[in-house]
Amino acid sequence: MRISGGAARGVPLQVPKGDAVRPATDGMRQAVFSSLAARLAGARFADLFAGSGGYGLEAFSRGAEGGVFVEKSVKASACIRQNIVSVCRSTGRAEQALRLLPVDVLTWSPVPGEEPDLVFIDPPYEIIAEVGPRLLARLAEALVSKPDPVIVFEMPGELTMEPPAGWTCVKRLGKGARQPTVAFFRRE
């Protein structure tokens, strides 16, 4: 797995051993970031269920100002730390622009005044039905001060996620059941 674009293009990312983390494929990340290209410059992001940090680090490589990675797994957090160092070295940018929070996503809330413009959510597929709607509702409240936030949610193709009140799914990338897809949610 590598950064697919931007200043850190080609930098390999460390991924925790085992099957607890299912990193987004390079092709899926390329499709997501092609759709987000105009929104990246200067944006702040949150990468929830960060795993290897692939979504957030890709955003940073492509011009995002900085952001936060939320990942409670100790093994995954260690990989994210290594990946932050590698990507920052490659881009020539300061690591201080990126924060790793080793906490449960369901207990995390953005710091007031530092709400993200982009939120990447890539949870274990087996918990999406349980945590997805609650997480989307919490984010809709937390992002109320942002002019045009986007939530990017990876899920299996057979699953649909009802957006919170006042939000809509504007795009879905990927095809077919049992295949990864990505839904883009924005306020109406």
Task: Please tell me the predicted confidence (pLDDT) of residue 7.
Answer: 94
pLDDT of amino acid 16? 83
Q: Which pLDDT belongs to residue 28?
A: 79
Three-state DSSP class for residue 91: helix
Q: What percent of the chain has pLDDT over 70?
A: 95
> Left, alpha or beta for 113 (phi > 0: left; psi -120 to 50: alpha)?
left
Higher-confidence position of 29 and 90: 90
Task: Select from 11, 22, 100, 167 the least CA-distant residue to 152.
Answer: 167
Average pLDDT on 180-187 reads 94
22, pLDDT greater than 70: no
Mean residue pLDDT across the chain: 91
All domains of the chain in start order, with CATH: 26-187 (3.40.50.150)
* pLDDT over 90 percentage in the chain: 78
For the residues 131-158, what does the mean pLDDT come to? 94
Is residue 177 over pLDDT 80?
no
Whether the predicted pLDDT of 73 surpasses 90 = yes
Q: Is the pLDDT of residue 21 over 60?
A: no
Q: What is the pLDDT of residues 47-70, one digit of tens each?
A: 999 999 999 999 999 999 999 999
Task: List C-alpha distances in Å: 146 to 25, 57, 60, 119, 141.
Answer: 29, 22, 19, 12, 10
Instruction: Say if residue 26's pLDDT is above 90.
Output: no
Q: What per-residue confidence (pLDDT) applies to 30? A: 85
pLDDT at 103: 95
CA 72/CA 69 separation, integer angstroms: 10
| Number of helical H runs and strand E runs in the chain | 4, 7
Contact predicate 152/132, CB 8 Å: no
